[in-house]
A = this chain, B = another copy of it.
């Protein structure tokens, strides 16, 4: 009962933050155009940002800023830009991954074609940097540049992660170790979902504490240590997401269930399964997975899914996620022990959000 109330409080806080961030994003995006063509661009740009979502990354950034005694007000623009980042890159990801659905609705390129959608993604990408430039009036020029630098690092990592995953599909490579997978997930998901939002929060908490653009040593040290913490959290987050793709209720999940298997996505479950099958079965599974998406039958996909259950691959994945989640929470407690004493309520909320991220159940 008490847990349910805590969850409800957390969801309320997330939803209240999300509303604030949505407002910043949607107010910032251009609205009425001189021509029908540009109006379509503007409508496409605000499509994904209008589709809901939980705003987890933005809230992470805000909470870490507050936990380190910063003002929420200073973090809002950067938190909103994190949401913009996710939105523009998902437009491109959905094309690259051949995804048909996004948050329960047709992906943007399914509505408007690949050509216009690549361009709309680029336009939205530009708006992210433009929004970040407004930080100058809030946190000053020096910190604004440091924030921009966090975003370029995040983009470098994310595109590298996406490249690794796409290459596996493109080259039909199934010879992937768990270690390869963890490197990919760290780059593709951990940076933009966990590492950068938390680093930004700490960075933004340093407003008024920094001296001529230099960060206090403690801030730099914590930002450095967040990489390890966020890697563990991000890995747990992604594995949970991949498990949900196989097991969740489609109406709540917003994406196609078993879609990852149709897509041939390399997940830790699949790596575990291939490692534990005898040669003949392994060849059978690889033959199914290597087919074009449209050539895979529902029965074939169900067969792979059943083999995963039989071989304990899904339970194994849950265990790996849970280990990484535990490591992340231990780092969190260590990293923020002082701050948690000063701000017990914020610390509890943050802890709760982190647990939710790394083990959420729909």
Interface residues of A (CB under 8 A from B): 35-38, 40-41, 89, 92, 95-97, 112-116, 118-120, 122-123, 125-127, 129-130, 133, 136, 141-142, 144-145, 148-149, 151-152, 155-156, 159-160, 162-164, 166-170, 180, 183, 213
Contacts and interface: CB of A to CB of B under 8 A. Distances in A.
Give the residue among A89, A122, A129, A166 with the most B Cβ atoms within 10 A: A122
Contacts of A156: 123, 126-127, 130
B119 A96 contact: yes
Contacts of A120: 159, 163
Contacts of A40: 163, 167
Q: How many copies does the complex hold?
A: 2
B123 A155 contact: yes
A344 to B, nearest CB: 37
B155 A126 contact: yes
A226 B47 CA distance: 34
B116 A37 contact: no
A126 B159 contact: yes
Contacts of A183: 35
Q: Which secondary structure dominates where chain A touches chain B?
A: helix
B141 A118 contact: no
23 contacts: A35-B164, A36-B167, A37-B164, A37-B167, A37-B168, A38-B164, A40-B167, A92-B122, A95-B114, A113-B170, A115-B170, A116-B167, A116-B170, A119-B162, A119-B163, A119-B166, A123-B159, A126-B152, A127-B156, A129-B129, A130-B152, A136-B145, A141-B213
B122 A95 contact: no
A113 B35 CA distance: 33
Contacts of A123: 155-156, 159-160, 163
A113 B183 CA distance: 23
B213 A41 contact: no
A293 to B, nearest CB: 13
Contact of A122 (B114, B155, B169): B155
Nearest to A89: B122
Contact of A125 (B116, B122, B149): B122
Contacts of A148: 129, 133, 148
B145 A118 contact: no
A122 to B, nearest CB: 5
Contacts of A96: 115-116, 118-119
Given A92-B118, A96-B119, A159-B126, A141 B152 contact: no
